[in-house]
Structure 1
Amino acid sequence: MTAIARFGAIALDSRDPRGLAQFYRALLDFDLRYESDELVVLQGSKVTLTIEHVADHRPSDWPGNGVPKQMHLDLFVTDLDAAEQAAIDCGATKPEFQPAPDRWRVLLDPSGHPFCLTCPPGAN
């Protein structure tokens, strides 16, 4: 079986991406690769961590379930259209709302967890 995508990044939502990135840089000694008010990208030896601004982000109330745990995967692909169709063929579904379909596609796994298909940084 040929892989449809390769693991790209773990993406965390936060009201304060820069503040959360400072925490993870100190905790994990990751390198800063990109920083803006909307997105921070940190790089470890074998993993990329992105922290994305979500204005109405609510922290999990773990171990409760009123606000469940939250995160999503970014999966790198070379062809968004082909990878999207292959993921759907594997059982993913595509929500109607797509915030930037020319740059990434948001899909839902069979349990409803969102994940993104995207081309890696620097890819054309």
Structure 2
Amino acid sequence: MSTGNVSAPAIRFSAVTFDCPDPAELSRFYGEALGLPVTYSSDDFVMLGQEGSPGLGFNRLAGYRRPTWPEPSQEKQAHLELGVDDLDAAQARLLALGAEAPAVQPEPERWRVLLDPAGHPFCITTLA
């Protein structure tokens, strides 16, 4: 779509933010798992990231309801895909950091579904 002589404003991807009951706890989990430092912190919001790269945000939501994946009563709205070299080793590390492994694993030889401490599903895979 052409904008004629008007230049389009620069728009860039900045972050993905997750709603959760405890931003400090969830940011600790992802910060340790991904090696990302805190770039901003308040009682209700924490941002992780590296200078010049998109980050991950964690927003306190009153009345937060944990996703119930694979049960659809409280759907996941989005999830992260994390690339790993070794599924078993990565899963063990993430479980030690506070993730949970649900019983349902659609293709455990290709990827694993885990739940972060707030219940958000995320995947680890050697395909990324």
- Offset of residue 5 of structure 1: 2.6
CA contact (8 A) 1:13 1:71 kept: no
| 1:21 to 2:35 alignment | no
SS at match of 1:55: coil
CA contact (8 A) 1:24 1:30 kept: yes
Change (3 A) 1:23 1:17: same
Where does 1:1-124 land on structure 2 (aligned, <5 Å)? 5-44=11-50, 46-71=53-78
SS at match of 2:25: helix
CA contact (8 A) 1:11 1:49 kept: yes
- Counterpart amino acid of 1:50? G
CA contact (8 A) 1:13 1:57 kept: yes
d(CA) in 2 for partners of 1:63, 1:3: 40
- Counterpart amino acid of 1:19? E
d(CA) in 2 for partners of 1:35, 1:48: 13
1 or 2, which has the higher strand percentage?
1
d(CA) in 2 for partners of 1:44, 1:27: 14
Structure 1: 4+ residue segments shifted above 2 A? 1-5, 44-47
- Counterpart amino acid of 2:60? H
Can you list the C-alpha shifts for 1:70-95, whole angstroms capped at 9, x where unaligned?
A: 359xxxxxxxxxxxxxxxxxxxxxxx
Paired residue for 1:115? none
- Offset of residue 6 of structure 1: 1.5
- Offset of residue 64 of structure 1: 1.7
TM-score (structure 1 length as normaliser): 0.51
d(CA) in 2 for partners of 1:71, 1:4: 25
**Which shows bigger deviation, 39-48 or 16-25?**
39-48
The total of aligned residue pairs comes to: 72
TM-score (structure 2 length as normaliser): 0.50
